Copies of this chain bind each other. A is one copy, B any other.
Amino acid sequence: MASDHFSCSIGEEFVSEIESGLESSEIHGADLRFHGVVRKTEDGREISGIRYSFYENMALRELEAIGEAMGEAYPDHLATVYHRVGEVAAGDASILIRVQTAHSAAAFEISREYLKRIKETVPIWKEPVFV
């Protein structure tokens, strides 16, 4: 889904594939990309990865709602959010939050806020895959 400043998607592609398709901008001096990476331990036990599952429409609708609210809270930014689902191996990224702003300070603030809101409300479930 996409609005003027925001696009989001959920799928099984690697974050690097999504990132390679991102467009650059000549008016945004800051381009910040947060990758949330699966770590190899969960509650002290070793895991090979995390299996993510979701209700597609609900999750996309919630991401879109976050994008709209963020557009009102922070005009003049662009953002792309991608959440990977299925089994994501330890060391691989499960989420990409890309934020573009004219100047750097806003990019950090906006990116943190996207991450916070996504963690709080988007219905995507995690199941560790133990070794």
Contacts and interface: CB of A to CB of B under 8 A. Distances in A.
Interface residues of A, number: 31
B112 A108 contact: yes
B34 A30 contact: yes
A39 B90 CA distance: 37
A59 interface: no
A62 interface: no
Contact of A108 (B30, B37, B38, B111): B111
Contacts of A34: 30-32, 104, 107
A121 interface: no
A33 B33 CA distance: 5
A101 to B, nearest CB: 10
A71 interface: no
Contacts of A115: 104
Interface in A19-45: 24-41
Contacts of A112: 104-105, 108
Given A24-B92, A91-B24, A111-B108, A39 B29 contact: yes
Contact of A37 (B28, B38, B92): B28
A13 to B, nearest CB: 16
A114 B80 CA distance: 24
